[in-house]
Amino acid sequence: PPMVEEVAKDNVHVVSDSKESEIAAEQPQGASTGDNEVVEDTFRAEAPTLKGLKIVGKINTDRITRPSSTKKEEVKKDAKQPGQTPSQPGSASSGDELKRKRKRKKLPVNFNPQGGGSQEHGHRGGDSHAKGGKKHQNEVVKEVSQKEIDDKIKSTMARINVGGKNKRSKIRRDKRETIREKTEALESANTNDKLQVTEFISVSELASLLNVAAIQVITTCMNLGVMVSINQRLDAEIIELVASEFDREIEFISAEDESDFDINDEEDSEDSLVPRAPIITVMGHVDHGKTSLLDHIRQANVVSGEAGGITQHIGAYEVDVKGKKIVFLDTPGHEAFTAMRARGAKITDVAVVIIAADDSIMPQTREAISHAQAAGVPIVFAINKIDKPAADPEKIKNELAQMNLLVEEWGGKYQSQDISSKTGQNIDLLLEKILLEAEILDLKANPDRLSIGTVIEASLDKGRGYVTKILVQNGTLNQSDYIVAGEYSGRIKAMFNERGKKIKTAGPSTPVLVLGLSGAPQAGDKFKEFENEGEARQIAARRSQINREQTNRATRRISLDDIGRRLALGTFKELNLIIKGDVDGSIEALADSLIKLSVETIQVNVIHKAVGQITESDIMLASASDAIIIGFQVRPSIGARKAAEREGVQIKTYSIIYEAINEVKTAMEGMLEPTKEEKNTCEILVREVYKISKVGTVIGAYVQEGKVTKSTYVRVIRDGIVIFPTKENVHGEIGTLKRYKDDVKEVRAGMECGLTIKNFNDIKVEDIIEGYEIIEVKQTLS
């Protein structure tokens, strides 16, 4: 039949070329015997061909040495054989057979090249064309060209070098991780077993902290040679020695330490916390544009209200930026306000360091950066005054890089923005970066608790009493609440926001002005609200007592070494000062700056400093201690003026801090003893020597340089060695000075003269007489 003939023809193609002639010769004979015999002859013709294909064994041997390439070679070989497609009927590609073949593939391969499995290999070869061909096509699709690889490498390197969004997000993740690690470290540090005490605690208090009987502490003190009673207060050295006897470590904290406020406090639960506004401190060098930046943000002119155009207080302002509230703290940039900048860094969330683009990184800028780094506060650099012709922001970034502060544009982690506070250029971009840093911190607070916060400034107002500017950091402060700040307590009589508007409540991250405290606390003191007045007064009284004892005991007594040193100097002097000011922060800054002016021969002592007007009691204290009164932004009362005139007390008032510092420095220089120096005035050559009885030795001399007078001091030099005078603090004096027979007052260079020297006659020809005078040189503090 035609179908069988077709199959035969197809099978003939499988057979090698050497057998084709035999098959062609046998086909006519098979045709004459009948149809069935033709089919049998056809398959018989195929059988010897399959037996002859012993190359299969060789292929399997290659599979052992190179399995991956063998499969590919099989696929390629089978693909080259014509007529073996799944669609052809003679390829035995039924569904059942395919399933069996799949199962066979899981079995171990028969590596025997003889008999047995040769038929299976033949069928598998037909199927391998179908499967192997498909697999081969998939591999071609998956192949990646060299161009695609190069493009991928370029895009990856670009992301690494440029620092795109992925890098910025990684930086933000790293910052969050750093903040989390610092928080955990702080918590673990707080859980240590050190005994936290204030100095000058009593014996009974120390015994209760050590969890021992008071008699044991008294016995220990007696063994140390100190006799104490149960209510006697101990100094730091004794406390440490007693604690070491009981194997406990001591950590001293100040009387105003915030741990006093942690009594009966519970940690806020996560459910009670709500997002709060970030507190941003603006720091930098004087006149670099800190207040001008806040002016532009607040749309108010703050600079015009400051004396000398410099900031001398910490200002706290609340600003709405795109619907989000931000609290800004403006700190002074003058070098005298180091303590203020340090306090500003401690209570802030993000520090904005302003640097003028037409200047360089100044000492106060470096100090501000150090304060922010010490407080662990994120820093955003604002490079200001880019509108000026001499502005060079890249120079500033290079200086920052030398301090290991790489900005993000240079591949670092610190954000920076070029701005102009005068024109407002790029200030909106700066605010966006500030808000981004604040979002990373995830700032939260609990408004439904007793308030706690920090004192920013305190002053004394004649009509309103003590006025305290505070920043609420947690909880809500209400009018009529009882608070303790430093060693003072009181009930809130009234509250005002930074614009002077009266308010009733103040939530977290809100700066307010409060009235009602019993005194002016120091800037930087913590404050806390209490439920009743009795508790608040008790804590304030205890703190006041401890501070008073610390002040009394800390007064340094003069030692024998000090007395000996001052006697050796012989000119030791002291300058006593009384400082009165409008706010505590400025008083502290001025006092610190004046004390630093002390030198070896002049000691500056600030015997009293306080907030408020100069009063008659200040005059009496100054009169008793021989002190000068310095008023900063305050004036004396009428009674104080009359008392000062009566007692002869000097009062100096200033509005700008560096004017006060410079004037006190000048006054101290006037107190310094001038130094004495020698100044050469002439050189005289000895030409003749005359011995005259009752007169002594008369010198005939020639003035080579300068001018000699009768008051000129002289020294005699022979062969480069001074032979008169030879004793210290002894000066040679001229007895007589004549020209010819006349006494003269002076003889100038190029003229001859005759002279005698008191108490010296051993003069020789060719000696040199050197004339000099003693002058006084004014000392300076520099």
760, 689 in Cβ contact below 8 A?
A: no
408, 414 in Cβ contact below 8 A?
A: yes
Note the residue count of the chain: 782
Burial (CB count <10 Å: 0-12, 13-18, 19+), residue 677: exposed
CATH of domain 675-777: 2.40.30.10
Rounded Cα gap, residues 125 and 118, in angstroms:
10
pLDDT on residue 476: 92
Q: In this predicted model, what pLDDT tens digit does every residue of 381-407 receive, in sequence order?
A: 999 988 888 888 888 898 888 888 888
Q: Cα–chain-centroid distance for residue 182? A: 15
pLDDT on residue 88: 43
Q: What is the β-pairing status of strands 675-692 and 768-777?
A: antiparallel
63-77, 250-264, 315-329, 606-620, range with greatest mean pLDDT:
606-620
469, 489 in Cβ contact below 8 A?
A: no
Helix, strand, coil % in the chain, rounded to nearest 5? 45, 25, 30
Q: Does the fold of domain 675-777 match that of domain 452-552? A: yes
- The pTM score is 0.52
pLDDT on residue 234: 83
Q: Cα–chain-centroid distance for residue 225? A: 47
CATH 3.40.50.10050, domain 556-671, yes or no = yes
pLDDT over 50 (residue 593): yes
pLDDT over 60 (residue 139): no
Q: Virtual CA dihedral for 136, 142, 146, 147, nearest 10 degrees?
A: 130
pLDDT over 90 (residue 769): yes
Q: In this predicted model, what pLDDT tens digit does every residue of 324-336 receive, in sequence order?
A: 888 887 766 444 4
Residues 6+ apart with CB under 8 A from 329: 279, 280, 281, 282, 314, 315, 316, 344, 347, 348, 456, 471
Q: Averaged over 757-775, what is the pLDDT?
A: 90
* Cβ atoms within 10 Å of 88's Cβ, excluding its own: 14
Handedness of CA 449, 454, 457, 459 (dihedral sign): positive
Question: Which class does domain 277-442 fall in?
Answer: alpha beta
Q: State whether residue 702 is helix, strand or coil.
A: strand
Q: What letter would DSSP give residue 479?
A: T
Rounded Cα gap, residues 456 and 349, in angstroms:
15
Q: In this predicted model, what pLDDT tens digit does every residue of 697-725 receive, in sequence order?
A: 899 999 999 999 989 999 999 998 999 98
Q: In this predicted model, what pLDDT tens digit does every residue of 416-463 receive, in sequence order?
A: 999 988 888 888 888 888 888 888 888 888 888 889 888 888 888 777
Give the chain's largest Cα–Cα span: 181
128, 74 in Cβ contact below 8 A?
A: yes
Average pLDDT of the chain is: 74
Q: In this predicted model, what pLDDT tens digit does every residue of 502-553 receive, in sequence order?
A: 899 999 988 898 999 988 888 778 889 998 888 888 888 888 877 776 666 5
> Domain residues of the chain, as ranges?
2-142, 148-190, 195-253, 277-442, 452-552, 556-671, 675-777
Residues 6+ apart with CB under 8 A from 579: 587, 590, 591, 594, 606, 608, 609, 610, 630, 632
573, 671 in Cβ contact below 8 A?
A: yes
φ/ψ (deg, to 5) at 349: -100, -40
Question: Quick one: tokens of 626?
Answer: 């021989």
Q: Averaged over 629-645, what is the pLDDT?
A: 89
pLDDT over 60 (residue 122): no
String of DSSP letters for 347-414: S-SEEEEEEETTS---HHHHHHHHHHHHTT--EEEEEE-TTSTT--HHHHHHHHHHTT--BGGGTSSB
Cα–Cα distances in angstroms (integers) from residue 457 to residues 182, 349, 604, 628, in the given order: 29, 19, 26, 25
Residues 6+ apart with CB under 8 A from 5: none
CA nearest neighbour of 661 among 602, 608, 572, 596: 596
Confidence of residue 25 (pLDDT cuts 50, 70, 90): very low
Rounded Cα gap, residues 291 and 307, in angstroms:
13
Cα–Cα distances in angstroms (integers) from residue 124 to residues 9, 110, 131, 334, 396, in the given order: 21, 13, 10, 92, 76
570, 601 in Cβ contact below 8 A?
A: no
Q: State whether residue 766 is helix, strand or coil.
A: coil
Q: Which CATH superfamily is domain 452-552 in?
A: Translation factors (2.40.30.10)
Q: Virtual CA dihedral for 662, 667, 669, 674, nearest 10 degrees?
A: 160
Residues 6+ apart with CB under 8 A from 573: 601, 602, 603, 671
Residues 6+ apart with CB under 8 A from 208: none
Rounded Cα gap, residues 242 and 14, in angstroms:
107
pLDDT over 90 (residue 189): no
pLDDT on residue 715: 92
CA nearest neighbour of 715 among 688, 748, 686: 686
Least confident piece of the model among 245-259, 354-368, 560-574: 560-574
480, 472 in Cβ contact below 8 A?
A: no
Q: Averaged over 457-484, what is the pLDDT?
A: 87
